[in-house]
Amino acid sequence: MTDSASSGRTDQDGVTRLVGFEQRLDIRMSLSPLRRGRGDPTYESTPDGAVWRTSRMNSGPVTYRLVQASPSSVMVRAWGPGADELLDAAPALLGRDDDASSFAPEHPILREAHRQLPHLRLGRTGLVLEALIPAIIEQRVHGISAFGSWRYLVSKFGDPAPGPTPKTMFVFPTADVWRRIPSWDYHRANVDPARSKTIVRAARAAGRLEEASTMTPEDAHRRLRAIPGVGIWTAAETAQRALGDPDALSVGDYHLAAVVGWSLLGRPIDDEEMVEYLQPLAPHRHRAIRLLYLSGKATKPKFGPRTALVDHTWH
């Protein structure tokens, strides 16, 4: 199994590589967790089936476009200073390192979901701060509000995306920029002082946080949670995307325990019971949750309060 790279390159054409897999994959399924709402200025999917995304690699900003070339291969084209680094990271981004061979759920719903979606691959970006900051923004607020905050901050303080893009896109700001965003801009973005202070702490510790991408999952979670304001939920949401951790369970999510309970047990459960119930699925608890949602088997009765604020930092 090899990947082939293009030899020619211009700023307009970018650089391309065909990434092959031994089995089927689905790029939108692998990359969809990286999208922060429909208006995400770092992500776009187009009618031709392509996924466009921007990122900030160690070598600089990059815009990249992924197209399914065959059921088991993806053509990646990238523009910008970070293009070559992105191409090297593309196999991991698409989930080539993901290993589901030991995942053998006993519950018939999960077993059927796994049978229907054997091509689910959990990718990893390897970029910790890029996954952590939006997770912090999403603490204690609704998705729509958090996505609006993300859109405002990245569009105002991020770099314009290099290369051609299907819409106006921006690149995740540098750690130094996040650290220096004025308090009034966080206020305009509807990010309260508690979350903005956590973002600043994370930006100041960016170097140590990025080291988590080379650690064991346990050590990485400890490194993430060493930042005041980063709790179990925030660390799990980060590990899912940056580290491709198949076991990172989002304990503290407002809906998740109830969804797991109603979907698999036919009754509501709390976080403590969810952790205990899903323990036999370790180290694939996040995989099980993804399969539950992607298969359409996730369910929860529509009653009770429509919204709530949940403080994820103490979980």
Spell out a b/e string for 63-81, using b for 16 or more CB atoms within 10 Å of the CB, else e.
bbbbbbeeeebbbbbbbbe
- Amino acid identity of residue 270, one-letter, is D
Residues 129-178: tens digit of each pLDDT: 999 999 999 998 988 999 999 999 999 999 999 999 999 999 999 999 99
Pull the structure tokens for residue 150: 């993300």
Q: Tens digits of per-residue pLDDT, 175-211?
A: 999 999 999 999 999 999 999 999 999 999 999 999 9
State the pLDDT confidence band at 301, using cuts at 50, 70 and 90.
Answer: confident
CA–CA gap between residue 171 and residue 96 (Å, rounded): 25
CB 184 within 8 A of CB 153: no
Per-residue model confidence (pLDDT) at position 300: 83
- pTM surpassing 0.85? yes
For the stretch 11-25, pLDDT in tens is 567 999 999 999 999
- Burial-class residue 108 by CB neighbours within 10 Å (0-12, 13-18, 19+): exposed
Residues above pLDDT 70, as percent of the chain: 92
